[in-house]
């Protein structure tokens, strides 16, 4: 427990300092977090030190940095007409299919299709959500640190509320075949604390209306726990306790950002399109 508290404190301080230090430290920090999440994912699904797995691992990381980089350019005002942007996304996805599936035609091993699919899934699961992050924190080159901090605070509030409520009143298991400790009571407690936190954030941020605070909090309280469960499903599939060992007492970086990953796309959709 002591190690967990120490690691958690340093982790939060690094996130806060990197976010508050300005636009480029923020971009660098979350670029490193993206790299760490991709590294852990591909180490998990491609663990062997052979060229087939190394191919998927390193190429997956390289391909995974592209959506984040594109998001940075678009957030700085790079103008792409709708047709050109759609074509760029189509070419990216088509190239990914070819990159991961065609080499599997020429290797000798079982489950070739599923192995190629795992390589592609890592980009959808990890890389594409991170591509949304610059778009909701940077507008025409202007960086708004409070955007990412607000989402992180909501995710942390959801985790805290779920943990405390589940420990005190949790009885009915949510999905015992995936996560034996998560309960419906914990999920409800996490949602309540997240909604209250969203309302509080809207009170202090002029750019957030009360509706913004409540809608984003609702999205985080639904999609965040789903992201946590999906990562639990991934770890259960590969029979590991943590995604990595970079954060003593907490596991890997992907363990800390699983909820954040799932919450980012719906929050971005609301903030950029619906709002």
For residue 53, the model assigns a pLDDT of: 78
For residue 5, the model assigns a pLDDT of: 74
For residue 273, the model assigns a pLDDT of: 86
For residue 81, the model assigns a pLDDT of: 67
SS3 of residue 80 by DSSP: coil
Short-list 186, 185, 183, 180, CA closest to 160:
186
pLDDT band at 137 (very low <50, low <70, confident <90, very high): very high
SS3 of residue 56 by DSSP: helix
Is the pLDDT confidence value at 114 over 90? no
Dist CA 221 CA 187 (whole Å): 8
For residue 7, the model assigns a pLDDT of: 80
Dist CA 74 CA 55 (whole Å): 29
Is the pLDDT confidence value at 23 over 90? yes
For residue 9, the model assigns a pLDDT of: 84
Query: Percent of the chain having pLDDT more than 70?
Result: 97
φ, ψ of residue 84 to 5 degrees: the values are: -65, -40
Question: CA angle at residue 65 from 70 to 92, to 5 degrees?
Answer: 65
pLDDT band at 62 (very low <50, low <70, confident <90, very high): very high
pLDDT band at 82 (very low <50, low <70, confident <90, very high): low
For residue 1, the model assigns a pLDDT of: 64
> What's the mean pLDDT in 114-142?
90
- Average pLDDT over the chain, rounded to an integer: 89
For residue 129, the model assigns a pLDDT of: 94
Tokens 């901090």 locate to 149
């Amino acid at each position: 427990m002591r190690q967990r508290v120490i690691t958690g404190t340093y982790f939060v301080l690094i996130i806060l300092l990197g976010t508050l230090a300005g636009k480029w430290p923020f971009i660098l920090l979350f670029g490193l977090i993206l790299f760490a999440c991709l590294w852990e994912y591909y180490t998990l699904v491609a663990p062997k030190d052979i060229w087939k797995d190394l191919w998927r691992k390193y190429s997956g990381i390289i391909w995974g940095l592209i959506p984040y980089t594109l998001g940075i350019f678009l957030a700085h005002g790079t103008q792409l007409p709708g047709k050109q942007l759609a074509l760029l996304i189509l070419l990216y996805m088509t190239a990914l299919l070819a990159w991961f599936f065609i080499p599997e035609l020429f290797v000798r091993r079982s489950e070739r299709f599923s192995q190629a699919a795992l390589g592609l899934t890592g980009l959808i699961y990890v890389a594409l959500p991170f591509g949304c992050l610059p778009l909701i924190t940077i507008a025409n080159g202007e960086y708004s640190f409070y955007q990412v901090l607000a989402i992180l605070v909501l995710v942390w509030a959801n985790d805290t509320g779920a943990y405390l409520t589940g420990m005190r009143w949790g009885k009915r298991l949510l999905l015992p075949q995936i996560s034996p400790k998560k309960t419906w009571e914990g999920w409800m407690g996490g949602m309540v604390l997240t909604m209250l936190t969203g309302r509080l954030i809207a009170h202090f941020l002029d750019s957030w209306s009360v509706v913004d605070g409540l809608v984003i909090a609702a999205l985080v309280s639904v999609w965040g726990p789903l992201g946590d469960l999906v990562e639990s499903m991934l770890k259960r599939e590969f029979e590991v306790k943590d995604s990595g060992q970079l954060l003593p007492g907490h596991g890997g970086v992907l363990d800390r950002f699983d909820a954040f990953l799932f919450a980012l796309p719906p929050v971005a959709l609301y903030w950029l399109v619906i709002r």
